[in-house]
Amino acid sequence: MFVAAASLLLGLGCEAGGYASLGRNGAGPDAAVPGAQPGGPLSGLPWRSGTNAQTLDRIAAWESYRNRPTDVVLAITDYTSWQGITQPDAVLEGLAGFSGKLVLSLPFWPVNAGGSLASCAQGDYDENWRTLGATLVAHDRADSIIRLGWQFNGNDVEWKATDPVAWVSCYQHVVTAVRETAPGVLFDWSRNAHGTQNPASGDASEAYPGDEYVDIIGIDTFDMTPSSPDEAAWTQQCNGPDGLCAVIDFARAHGKRVGVGQWAVVTCNGFGDAGGDNPFFIQKMHDTFAANADVMAYETYYNDPNAGEFCTSLHDPIEAPMASTFYQKLWGP
C-alpha cells in the first residue's frame, strides 16, 4: 500500500490550525487552482471527502456512519484485463446514482499480462486508453479523477518507476490518449508515503510527468512504516521526503491541488510497524486537511476490513473503535 520543504500557508505551515471551522463556514475548496470544480462539497466540509465504495448501499452506510454526505468515492476496478481497466461498466453502473466525484486507481497496463514501460512509452496501449475515455463519457463520468500509475515509487507494483524517463513518457501517452475522447478527466499523480525505492535516486519527483499532464498531486498514507504515535513521529513522517506535508508543498509549488486517495489507520500487518487503533493519526490527518483546504482536491478514507491487508475499517466492521469514534467526532456535523 504503499522534497521536503517548509512552504507556509499564510505563514502558519502545512499543519497549522487557525482555519475557520469544519462545517459550512470553513475555507472554500474551489479556489482558482487547476483541478477545482464548480459548486461546493456535498458534505459541507471545507474540502471534498469520502471513502472507497463499489455500490450505492456502501456509500449510504458510510454517510449514515459519519452523518454527513459523501463528496467523492474511490472505486477499485478489475485491472487484470484491458476490458476491466477501460470498460468497467459494472462498477460505473453500480455507482450511477452517486452525484459526487468518482476516483479510479488505474495501472498503465493489466497486471500479470506482460506489459512494460517501454511498450507504453512508445504508444502501444494508446488505443485502449481512448476506449476508457469513451467509456467514461458514455456513463456520464467524463469528469472523473484517474490516479494513474499510483504508488509508482514503491516496489509493490508492476508499473513502478524503474526507468523514470520511460515512466514519464508512458504517463504522458496515457493522458494524451484519454483526453482525446474525454478531455474533462482529471489526472492524479500519486505516490505512496513510505519511501521511494523507484526511481533509484530516491526522488519521486524524477518521475513527475510535467504540469501539462497532471491536474492533482496525490499521495497514499497509512499509519505504518513508520507509524505516528506522537507529535515528533508525525512531524518527521509528514515532512518527509515522501510525506503528506512534503506532497502539499510540492503541489503548491506547481499550482496544483492535492488528492489523498488512500489513507487509514492500520490495525494488522503493517510490516511490523502498524499504528493500531490510533485516534492521534486521525486528528493529525484532519488538521492537515483543514489547514490546507484551499488546495485540497479530495480525500478518501480507505475503509478495508480485509485481514490480508491492513485492517483499516472504521465502520462495518469497526476494527479501530477509538479511531472510529474520533473520525465521527471530527468529520461529523
Delimit the domains of the chain by residue range.
Answer: 49-331
Question: How many CB atoms within 10 Å of residue 309?
Answer: 17
Per-residue pLDDT reduced to its tens digit, 94-139: 999 999 999 999 999 999 999 999 999 999 999 999 999 999 999 9
Q: What is the pLDDT of residue 308?
A: 77
Using DSSP, state whether 258 is helix, strand or coil. strand
The answer to whether the beta carbons of residues 57 and 75 sit under 8 Å apart is no
Q: What is the pLDDT of residue 269?
A: 84
Average pLDDT over residues 183-208: 96
| CA-based nearest residue to 168, from 194, 207, 217, 225 | 207
| CA-based nearest residue to 224, from 276, 186, 182 | 276
DSSP 224: B
Architecture in CATH for domain 49-331: Alpha-Beta Barrel (3.20)
Task: Kindly report the pTM of this predicted structure.
Answer: 0.88
Per-residue pLDDT reduced to its tens digit, 63-91: 999 999 999 999 989 999 999 999 999 99
Confidence label for 197 from pLDDT (cuts 50, 70 and 90): very high
